[in-house]
Amino acid sequence: MLSSRGSFLLGFSFCALMLVIAGYFQLVDHLEPCPLCILQRVFILVVGLVMLLAAIHNPQGIGIRFYGLLAGLVALVGAAISARHVWLQNLPADQVPTCGPGLNFILDNFPLNEAINLVMRGSGECAEVLWTYMGISIPGWTFLAFIMLALLAFRQAFRNK
């Protein structure tokens, strides 16, 4: 059984691997990320940073619970974003939203709460399935990864001493 530090380090390593894979898809395979993809990457980064901070800090007792809950909750928000993305990808063609502006344009021209709302609504490019493995798209795999990260984090938060 891994120590809490080992579990947090494992979670951080998994997040780092996910970001490397995302970079590979973007820079080598030339799969341009849509706004929802970028938002999922941000949440992977945040979960990874929380887990790295927990591993470095190596807290005891309530500190483990705090980091576990924080990482788990952020991972669940990431899972919700991924689920929304999968839902958009599975819409019938006549219900897919039209393509919208890029994330940079949205962030530059709208207040943050409205920008988040626009990104979460999705757009036509978010509905495209550019890659699958075993019939599951990138957002589907990301959803599963977020669930695994949440379970790992909540295991730390609610484990018995």
Q: For residue range 100-114, list pLDDT tens digits in order.
A: 677 677 778 888 787
Q: Number of H helices and number of E strands within the chain? A: 7, 2
Give the sign of the dihedral formed by CA 135, CA 140, CA 145, CA 151: negative
pLDDT the model gives residue 79: 98
What's the whole-number mean pLDDT along residues 60-78?
A: 96
* pLDDT above 90: residue 94: no
Check pLDDT > 80 for residue 125: no
Q: Indicate whether 99 pLDDT > 70.
A: no
Domain of residue 56, residue span = 4-158
Question: What CATH number is attached to the domain comprising 99?
Answer: 1.20.1550.10
Mean pLDDT in residue range 77-86: 94
Domain count, the chain: 1
pLDDT of residue 114: 79
Q: Is the pTM higher than 0.75?
A: yes
What's the confidence (pLDDT) of residue 117? 76
Residue 72 and residue 153 in contact, taking contact as beta carbons nearer than 8 Å:
yes
